[in-house]
Amino acid sequence: MNKRVPIVIANWKLNGGIDLLCSSVAAFIGKHFSAKIAICPPYIYMRDMLNFLQHSEIIVGTQNVSKYESGAYTGETSAQMIKRAGGGLCLVGHSERRQMFHENDPSCNIKVSRALASNLMPVLCVGENLQQREAGITNDVLFRQLHDGLADVDLTNKEICVAYEPVWAIGTGQAASPEDAQLVHEYIRSELTILFGKEIAERIHILYGGSVNKTNAYELLSQSDIDGLLVGGASLDPEHFMQICLHANTHAENIESSK
């Protein structure tokens, strides 16, 4: 059985507002979750969310982070600013940022290092597109994204997550099957073992993302190398997101009781 306590991360993308914020967080206040739950709203709502969630265990994260520390970089927000504001994690290299905002592996590598230096947990997103999948080069794509994105990264006493998000599954309603996703996660862990050694690779959470919903969440989390979920569309419906979190919680409780 998987021994890593599952993490569920909501990625609101460029969606949501105060109404969604209130209804999403209300459901979590005063409740204990054995699974870790995080929400990444647009930056502008981060502060309000942190205020609302003061007495909860929910982690607030961001969807991006600057590769710069400070200076004349209009529109940027640094890892240190996110950390000081109370943020706990940041997504790095989401496929939408790679596709639409020209992010690449070297820039992801800098962002990962900046986040770690500020004790903010980076969640490095990797995944192949449909063309690459059909050409049978999924592992080659992942190899490059992992080795370049995590080059020279030191994880001693640091936490990082990797999110496998096949681009063809994002927002399409066509999630990878649990078995297919498990095979890819296994491959990712083998590369993480080469990069960081077995002990560190075994504690890294590898999340799956791409059309996760309340129907497929439990089965995905049942796979031995799927340690959490990155949820886009379904996280915009608070009741739906809660169902996914409850599935993760069941897994977390099973892990606790098997100890």
CB of 1 to ligand PGA, least distance (A): 26
Residue whose C-alpha is closest to residue 24's, from 2, 56, 69:
56
Q: What token pair was written down for 225?
A: 């190398």
> Does 210 contact ligand PGA by CB under 6 A?
yes
Residues recognised as catalytic: 94, 165
94 or 196: CB nearest ligand PGA: 94
> Does 64 contact ligand PGA by CB under 6 A?
no
Residue whose C-alpha is closest to residue 27's, from 63, 53, 50:
53
Mark the segment that binds ligand PGA (CB under 6 A) among 29-37, 144-152, 185-193, 229-237: 229-237
> Does 80 contact ligand PGA by CB under 6 A?
no
CB of 55 to ligand PGA, least distance (A): 27
Which residue in the set 11, 62, 216, 249 belongs to the binding site for ligand PGA (CB under 6 A)? Answer: 11
Residue 74 amino acid letter: T
Reduced to 3 states (helix: H, G, I; strand: E, B; else coil), residue 35 is coil
Which residue in the set 87, 228, 232, 238 belongs to the binding site for ligand PGA (CB under 6 A)? Answer: 232
List residues near ligand PGA by CB under 6 A. Answer: 11, 165, 170-171, 209-212, 230-234
